[in-house]
Amino acid sequence: MFINRTKLTAVNNVHLSKRSSIVQNIFPNKSEKETLLTQLNLLGAKHVYVEFRGGGDEGQIEGVYYRDRNDDVHDIPSDMIAWTQIAYGDKTLETKQMSLYDALEDLCSRALDNTGLDWYNNEGGQGEFTIDFTESPPKISLNVGINHMSTDDYTYDMDEEEDE
């Protein structure tokens, strides 16, 4: 995992399972949610992870993978599912065939967009979108770390004599 928590000065946890309005926004229809969760469950996924990182003015998905019930790590297969894609800044919905990997990447992006957190600008941030199949119903969570930089300036007068 790429997250280095020692560099973070602020961490925001957004537990999507408890925020129904965000879940509604990331899953525009119930059948899409059921299709995705069923497909991941059929893989034997225990946990699904989407890792992201950003800085400057850019952000990107760093990795999408899952752990099975034996805790072995696997890449997401190239299986195709029907997925509703929402264009950035547009409310037009278009359902098309998309790989499971791309659907999970899109789902993470939707969740991040709904938080309003600026994780990709300036010093940036990083985090992880997780689907936990050990709970019923599966729990979706988003952990976002935002990096902040602070500067302290000091001035010393070199002409002063030291006290003895």
77-135 confidence digits (pLDDT tens): 989 998 887 766 666 777 889 999 999 998 888 888 777 777 766 667 888 899 999 99
The three-class DSSP label of residue 107 is helix
Q: Please report how the helices 100-115 and 30-42 are oriented relative to each other, as an axis angle in degrees rounded to 10.
A: 130
pLDDT tens, position by position, 154-163 = 888 887 666 5
Taking the CB of residue 7, how many other CB atoms lie within 10 A of it?
11
Q: CA-to-CA distance for 83 and 160, rounded, in angstroms?
A: 71
Strand 139-146 and strand 73-75: the pairing is: unpaired
Q: Work out the angle at residue 144's Cα, subtended by the Cα atoms of residues 10 and 81, and round it to the nearest 5 degrees.
A: 180
